[in-house]
Structure 1
Amino acid sequence: MKIYLAGRIAGDRKYRAKFREAAKALEGMGHVVLNPATLPDGLTDADYMQICMAMLNAADLAVFLPDYRESRGAMVEWAYCQRIGKDCALYMDMTGGGRQ
């Protein structure tokens, strides 16, 4: 299954490690992970959102990290998923609690 990973990036100095750990766990379950934390630095907020929305549209499932409510971008992604009927899950539910 193709999974888009959503959570707080802006203002979180450890976001790359957090997303990398979550991606590794989901990949270990046999999923293909679309990880926005792997995008390069230097783009505008609009650029990031356009790319992330394309990744989200390509995914079968959106998985939200525990801190997603602290992210304006992830909340947009959550609302979009609800509007279009995209399947969503919480990371902790996918991994049995996780270490997030």
Structure 2
Amino acid sequence: MIRVYLAGPMSGYPELNFPAFHAEAARLRAMGFEIANPAEIDVGPDPTWLECMRACIKLLSDCDGIALLPGWEQSEGANVEHTLARGLRLRVMQARHIVGLAGDMPVISQEAVVKLLDEAEAA
């Protein structure tokens, strides 16, 4: 089973954006993914940003890929996680583009494939 870490913005969002994390985790789990959801980590009462990041990085390091939630680009923590995932050569995907699972391969939407092809042609 493929284990995917969810990354996205939390700081400054109502309820730390947990509803978006939980909804995406439920959607991907229904497809058969094993999800590492940072919104499910208990780092104790009133943790610092660094304490949260240390817990998240430990969780991410045990995953096969990362699924990025909307707004991740504006999140300092999600940018750290994205950079680490790329450095570890994990699969990096936009969460919204994931439409299924075939064995241990994520299936992405046609829209995502077209976008990737367009980017490759432009390069």
Distance in structure 2 (CA, Å) of the matches to 1:35 and 1:6: 8
Unaligned runs of 5+ in 1: none
Q: Find the aligned partners of 2:8 and 2:89 in 1 and give their Cα distance.
A: 19
1:45-64 correspondence runs (5 A): 45-64=49-68
CA RMSD of aligned residues (A): 1.5
Deviates more, 1:79-88 or 1:47-56: 79-88
1:31-70 pair list within 5 angstroms: 31-40=33-42, 41-70=45-74
2:18 aligned residue (16, 19, 29):
16
Q: Which has the higher contact order (CA 8 A, sep 6+)?
A: 1
Measure, in 1, the Cα distance between the counterparts of 2:87 and 2:41. 25
Deviates most, 82-91 or 62-71: 82-91
Gapped runs of 5+ residues in structure 2? 100-108, 112-123
TM-score by length of 1: 0.88
Task: Give 1:60 shift.
Answer: 1.0
CA distance in 2, matches of 1:92, 1:24: 13
- The alignment's TM-score, normalised by the length of structure 2, stands at 0.73
Residue equivalent to 2:31: 29
Separation (CA, whole Å) in 2 of partners of 1:70 and 1:37: 18
Q: Secondary structure at the match of 1:43?
A: coil
Confirm or deny: 8 A CA contact 2:65 2:85 kept in the other structure. Answer: no
Give the 3-state SS of the residue equivalent to 1:88 in structure 2. Answer: strand
1:73 Cα deviation from its structure 2 partner: 0.2
